Each structure stands twice: as C-alpha cells, then as structure tokens.
Chain A
Amino acid sequence: MLNVANLTASIEDNPILKGIDLNVGAGEVHAIMGPNGSGKSTFAHALAGRDGYEIEGTATIDGADLLEMEPEERAAAGVFMGFQYPVEIPGVNNMYFLRTALNSVRRTRGEDEIGARDFLEIAQKAMDLVEMKKDFLHRSVNAGFSGGEKKRNEILQMAVMEPRLAVLDETDSGLDIDALRVVAAGVNALRGPDRSMIVITHYQRLLDYIKPDFVHVLVDGKIVESGDHTLAVHLEDHGYAGFLNSGLDDASLSGATA
C-alpha cells in the first residue's frame, strides 16, 4: 500500500532523512521509534506534503506518486497525519472545519457531499470513540485546548476522515493514563484490513495497547533496525545506545521525557 524507497529530505542543504526504505502493507501497523531529532516527524511531514524540504527518492500510495501531490491531494488519496504539535486555528469552528475537510476530500474523489445533519451523526460517533465532550465541536480548532485534548482531537479527525494511511506522530505524548487508553482504543477501533498505520512513539506503553506488526528504529535519518513488537521492549530496557554509532552528537538526548 505505502512504498517508500531511498527517501531523502534536507532543509537548506542539511540532510535530515538519509535514505528511508519502508513498505507498509494493507492493514498493517508499523511503529517507528528513535531518539529526539532523528527525523521521525520529518518523515511524517514528508509523507503529508509539508513545504520547505528538498526531497528525493520515491513514495507511492497504492501505486500513485505521493511526492508529486499537494498536501490536500494526499489527503484525498487517503493520507492522514496526526500532528505531534496540532495547530491552533482561532476563529475557525471545529465542526465546520471537520465537515469542510471531509467534504473537500469527498469532492475531490467525486463523491457526494455530506449535509450538516448527516455530518452531525458522523461527528457524534467519532466524539464517542474518543470520549470527547460535545462543546469541543463548537470551539475553535485546537484553540485553548490542553495538550491532551489536542491529541484526542487528532484522533477524532482521523475517525471522521477514515484514511487509507494514518501517520500518528507522538499522539501518545502528553496524555494522562486514561487518555492514553482512550486514544489507543480509538486507534484500535479504526484498525481494519484496508487501513494501514504508522505510529511514531517514544513509549512502549502505547505499543502495549496497540500491538504493532513491525517496529522500526530510526536513527540519524535512517532506519537502522526493524523487528516485531519485542524490539520495542528491548528499546525500553536498553535505550538507543546500541544503535547510536559514531558521529552522533545528540546521544545524550535519548532519554526522552516528552
């Protein structure tokens, strides 16, 4: 479903991603772990289509070239990214934003738009899934939301958008124990044979809830190790020390406390 080959990304001549190969099959869940600054978010943004990177290599979704598409076209192709730092948009109503997003991708796909009333039902279901209070729909997008509320809102959006590929960047960071369970349950509920996920996290705890099919370790812009979920357990016990080879000056950051 998602095929990434020799993907590199640099910002103003600084190489950040140094050749990523990753194949995610339909229905699979892949976890990506790695020290701070190793390029995890950059990888997620490269898939979502953020401006400002010099990108080479290939990334296709169901055979279609992702790298040629604008961010909104990628969304229509089924890519959804849960932001590590969701953006506040004062003055734009959350519910209106969600409906506009859903109808925009539907329009691009040649599907009928969904009216306000039907949308309310879809939104309600998503709200129940992430146990979010109704008034959040009537507030401005993420404006004044607590860190944890923003992350729930990301999952809410994912539930509404029903993407082909979800890339969740540290959706578990900043969540309390109950919220973590809610978010994980949301993610699990959305798992399905047609939906693939890439879950970026620093904590094995999340992976206890969301059992990934594969775990990859990203260090200094490259995937240095891949394995099954037991790899996460190993990392939890031993840190990244074993993967940090020479030339890395940020090794001390490996004990993340996000």
Chain B
Amino acid sequence: MSGTVSALRAEALELVESLHLPTKRDEAWRYAPHKTLSELTFGPATATDALPTDIDDQVPALDGPRIVIVNGVVDATRSQLGSLPAGVQMVSLDDADQSEQRSEVDAKAADDAFSILNRAYGDGGAFLQIDGQPTETIHIVDIAVPGETQNASASRVVIDMAVGSSATVVETRIGSGDAFGGSNVCTEISLAANASLEHIILQDLPSTQVHLGRVDVVQAAESNLRARLFNLGSDYGRVAYHVHLNGEGAHADLSGLYFGFGTQTLDQQITVVHDAKDCTSRQSYRGVLDDSSTGVWNGGVDVRKGADGTDSEQSNDNLLLSRQADVNTMPRLEILADEVSCQHGATVGQLDDEALYYMRSRGIPKDEASRLLIKGFADQTMDDIESDAIRTWITERLGHDDA
C-alpha cells in the first residue's frame, strides 16, 4: 500500500469523487458537528489577498525562522526563511524533494474523508528537515481565509528529524474574517533514532470556523516526542494524534489544554501505538468548559504483540464551569503484549466550593477567587513550556495575563 506522494494524491483525488463524510457511528467523529462539516468546501489551493497585512498580533512573538501558509499556499513575504540556523532546512512543500516512498504506516492510517481531502488538495505547506540542534524555536503559521468559491483550506506540514537531532517547532493555526469556513491541516512527523522534538500546536481559529488537525508521528528507537496542544479556537476545533512507537525505547509525552466557551466543541483524538519493546508514553490533558461548550477526549493506547515492557499513563481532568457545559472522556486500552504497565484515569468536576470559600474567607471576592482557581487548573498544562513568547501568548489568550 505504499507509494509516492504524487501517486497517493492521484488516488485520493479519485476517492474524493465518492467521499463518505464521517457519521455519528464513527467512534472518532461521534461528537463532531456532521452537518457543519458537510458544508466545508475544498479544492485546489489558491492564493488569496484578502488577508490583513498584520498578523503579528495574532501569533506568538517568536524571533526565529517562520513559514506562513495562507489557504494552503506559502506566503513568502510574511515568512522569515533567510539565514536559517545550522542544520535546519525549511521550504515550501512545492520546493521539497518528495520522491521518497512514504512508509506503509503513514499511507495506510489516514482513511477518513478529511484525510483523503487533505491528500487530494493539501499539496501546499511546509517542509522542515532538521539535522542538528537548533536553539531557536521554529514557527509554522497556518491561516485560513474562507473564500467565495471554496471556504476551507487544506495544507500539510512535514517534519523530518535526523538521528540525534533536537528542536522545538510551534504550529500556530489561525483564521481571518468572520465568514464560515475552516482549515484542514495534516502534519507528518518522523523522528529518527535518538531524535527529540518538542511540538506545540496553538489552535485559535475564529469561532465562525472549523479546524480539523491531524498529526501522524513515527518514532524510531530512543527518540523522544513532547507534543503540546492548546486547543482554544474554532466552533469545532479538532486535533487527532496518531503516534507510532516503532523503535525500542522510544518515548512520547503528549499533553494539552482545551478551553471552551459559547457553543464550541473541542475534540482531541489520541492514539499511541506501542509497536516495539520498552517504549513509554504519557497522555495528560485538561479541559475547562464554560457556557454550553463541549469537550471530547478520546485517548487510546494500543500495545501491539511483542511490545513487551510497555509503560503508559493516561489522564484527563475536566472542569465544568456551567450546567450546560459537557465533556465526553473515553480512555481506550488494547493490550496484546506481556509485562506491560498501563494506567489511566479521568475526572470531571466543578470548581471546588471549599477552595472558593477558603479564598473568600481571606478577602478575595468570589469572581476573582473563581478566576484564580480556573487559572490554577489550566496553567499547569504549560508548566514545562520554556518559551516566554508562547507562555505569554497562551496567558493573554486565556485572559490570565493581569496576574
């Protein structure tokens, strides 16, 4: 089932003709707004000039290299691709050599309608190859600007980490305007032996739009992934991770925060496949849901035959701030190996009344006390993010910056 990128694209374009959108019966799409999704219109990427010149107030203020993708087309003027750090190659996908065969794992995994649409139309995007240890954070900005003829954009990000490399890559996903539309972004990450990647997604499209994100990761021996998701924007904001631990001793640590208001649905679908001995994985997500927003956390660990010595932990903690808010949390576990340790836990709670009273008894007004508790709960998800620019962006986005 493997093939070149162009062969896969040709195949996908054929499939588009008879596409079946996901339904309620598809476990991974159960809480998606199916009618809304059917109104997204995709097509070949076309450049737009309907974008305000200044996007810098919407993205974290990072100084390093940056590639900006607007509606699936790289925007050279907004990108900063001059004087890249040693060991970093970052180009538009159009300019990248993609003649390589894609691995069977990659090619087979994504058979849902939106992955097929992405393969068919998402030929624009960023290609990032790292062979070294750049210290600057690498920034990939994806912007969706709904158009008249097609309201949704498709793009791809390819991140290729050579043996022993390490880097931090941030993907900021935003949108422009107040029309209906959205973005469909697929990220393919491969970590060679001993490579180490911190990968951060900041999802903050306007509430009139939809975001469909998918991240496929393949990890070789002793490689290390730290994936952080801040799923904040969009009417329906979805990010699905499929992590394959293919080499012995690989480690994947995924965590994140979803923080919903209004009628948002924020959906995280995570599958970590242990396919080699002695790999470890961590999934730790927090959700805060206000108004009548909905959170979805569907986190799976799949321990394949022979993946002995697997060690995995999953946790999902949720704070519901209103009676209308809701969360669906589903840890999944399938074990076909020996000597494994797999733990999972999920909690759903409200603001702690005792803590509120304690704070109020110290003179802190009720609203302020609630705010502090929420902030305390949510901010723990950025404990290990080192970049001040990113921390500042998240804090300001959550309205926690007056602390």
Chain A residues packing against B (C-beta within 8 Å): 48-51, 70-72, 74-76, 80-81, 83, 86-92, 96-97, 100-102, 104-105, 108, 140, 157, 161
User: Given A97-B372, A140-B376 in contact, is the A89-B361 Cβ separation under 8 Å?
Assistant: no
B364 touching A87 by the CB < 8 A rule?
no
A104 touching B365 by the CB < 8 A rule?
yes
User: Given A89-B376, A96-B403 in contact, is the A75-B362 Cβ separation under 8 Å?
Assistant: yes
Those 4 A-B pairs whose CB atoms lie nearest each other, nearest first: A91-B376, A75-B363, A105-B363, A101-B362
User: Given A89-B376, A96-B403 in contact, is the A70-B357 Cβ separation under 8 Å?
Assistant: no
Chain B residues packing against A (C-beta within 8 Å): 352-355, 357-366, 368, 372-373, 375-380, 403
A76 touching B363 by the CB < 8 A rule?
yes
A91 to B369, CA, bound (A): 13
A161 to B353, CA, bound (A): 22
A96 contact set on B, CB distance < 8 A = 403
Q: How far is the CB of A153 from chain B (nearest CB, A)?
A: 11
A120 to B361, CA, bound (A): 22
A92 touching B372 by the CB < 8 A rule?
yes
- Interface residue from A71, A83, A90, A161 paired with B360 (Cβ < 8 Å): A71
B372 touching A100 by the CB < 8 A rule?
yes
A72 touching B363 by the CB < 8 A rule?
yes
Beta-carbon nearest neighbor of A142 in chain B: B358
User: Given A100-B368, A100-B372 in contact, is the A89-B363 Cβ separation under 8 Å?
Assistant: no
B357 touching A51 by the CB < 8 A rule?
yes
B379 contact set on A, CB distance < 8 A = 91
A51 to B373, CA, bound (A): 19
A101 to B378, CA, bound (A): 21
Beta-carbon nearest neighbor of A160 in chain B: B362
A86 contact set on B, CB distance < 8 A = 358
Q: How far is the CB of A121 from chain B (nearest CB, A)?
A: 20
A81 to B357, CA, bound (A): 11
> Can you list 18 pairs linking A and B with CB atoms under 8 Å apart?
A50-B361, A70-B366, A71-B357, A71-B360, A72-B361, A72-B365, A75-B362, A80-B362, A83-B358, A88-B355, A89-B352, A89-B373, A90-B380, A91-B377, A100-B368, A104-B363, A140-B376, A157-B362
A161 contact set on B, CB distance < 8 A = 362-363
A83 to B379, CA, bound (A): 27
A71 contact set on B, CB distance < 8 A = 357, 360-361
B366 touching A72 by the CB < 8 A rule?
yes
A92 touching B373 by the CB < 8 A rule?
yes
Beta-carbon nearest neighbor of B365 in chain A: A72
- Interface residue from B352, B361, B366, B377 paired with A75 (Cβ < 8 Å): B361
Q: How far is the CB of B14 from chain A (nearest CB, A)?
A: 51
Q: How far is the CB of A46 from chain B (nearest CB, A)?
A: 12
B378 contact set on A, CB distance < 8 A = 91
A104 contact set on B, CB distance < 8 A = 362-365, 368
Q: How far is the CB of A183 from chain B (nearest CB, A)?
A: 18
B361 touching A81 by the CB < 8 A rule?
yes
A72 to B356, CA, bound (A): 11
A101 touching B355 by the CB < 8 A rule?
no
